[in-house]
Copies of this chain bind each other. A is one copy, B any other.
């Protein structure tokens, strides 16, 4: 009912999953999908699907479901996936290289257009088609290549400095893999992915189950 009201954060986080779920349907073919089916495809429950989609103002057809093509369009629209957001990868260690080479990024509108690294041996080289620059050139790179998103895959010690440089260059969206807290102005959106932390959460549950099992 709310055509374009504020979309809850939790819903935003699920929209990409729905879009991904719709990949199960061939493009160009007319088909419909029920909230039940889509729930399965996205790994959530049907009520959530319906409520989420209602926030988009997307109307399904009662008794039938959602038109796949139209739904795809609606979600894409809401997420702005028509846009292409150039990405710079800061820190070309193991992880940085993997990210720069990750086809899933370019495919979805996030081309890695440049990289930085502090290692003089890497600066000036081209790794997997991405040219590596000195950290000091960040501002220049961002302006020249119209970078929208910065990925931080440096060691923890260099992360804050890198974030500062990105912010100074005008980047307002950062994805960080560094195991540290980053501070930045409020208008900068930071998503932090700490792999070791994720494992520790798994470890907690293993630990808990082991204790329970020992009883």
Contact = CB atoms under 8 A, between A and B. Distances in A.
A204 B78 contact: yes
Contact of A197 (B16, B194, B197, B204): B16
Interface stretch (A47-55, A101-109, A130-138, A161-169): A101-109
Interface in A185-215: 189, 191, 193-210
A177 B15 CA distance: 18
Question: How extensive is the interface on chain A, given as a class?
Answer: 35 or more
Contacts of A202: 85, 149, 173-175, 189, 191
Interface stretch (A28-36, A60-68, A92-100): A92-100
B179 A104 contact: yes
B105 A94 contact: no
A79 interface: yes
A199 B108 contact: yes
Q: Chain A interface secondary structure, helix, strand, loop or mixed?
A: helix
A81 interface: yes
A12 interface: yes
Contact of A203 (B80, B204, B208): B80
A102 B203 contact: no
A45 interface: no
Contacts of A149: 199, 202-203, 206
A125 interface: no
B83 A206 contact: yes
Given A15-B200, A149-B199, A193-B198, 6 more contacts: A13-B201, A20-B180, A43-B183, A79-B200, A173-B206, A175-B195
16 contacts: A15-B204, A17-B181, A20-B179, A20-B194, A21-B181, A85-B199, A85-B202, A94-B102, A97-B98, A107-B196, A110-B196, A172-B209, A173-B202, A189-B205, A191-B201, A193-B198
